[in-house]
Amino acid sequence: MCLALPAKVISTKKGKAVVEQLGKKSEVFNNLINARVGEFVLLQQGFIVERIAEKEALEALEAVRK
């Protein structure tokens, strides 16, 4: 089973993005969705796979922290 966790896009450049997820920054592939800075997204295996609403992302991250 895979768990897709929300992350916030911090920067983008040539098919990649830097995202912040639970206080950790990482570089992921952004060529499937082409997300923009400030958007919340779901990640799976180093790829952005879906955009999600900020409210939904924050609720999911809060649930993971508990």
CATH at 17: 2.30.30.140
Structure tokens at 54: 């900020």
Torsion, CA 18, CA 43, CA 7, CA 54, rounded to 10:
130
Q: Quick one: the chain helix, strand, coil %, rounded to 5?
A: 20, 50, 35
pLDDT at 3: 73
| Total count of domains within the chain | 1
Q: Is the pTM of this model over 0.85?
A: yes
Q: What is the pLDDT of residues 7-46, one digit of tens each?
A: 999 999 999 999 999 899 999 999 999 999 999 999 988 9
Q: Which domain holds residue 48?
A: 5-65
Structure tokens at 49: 């796979």
CA distance linking residue 53 with residue 26, whole number of Å: 20
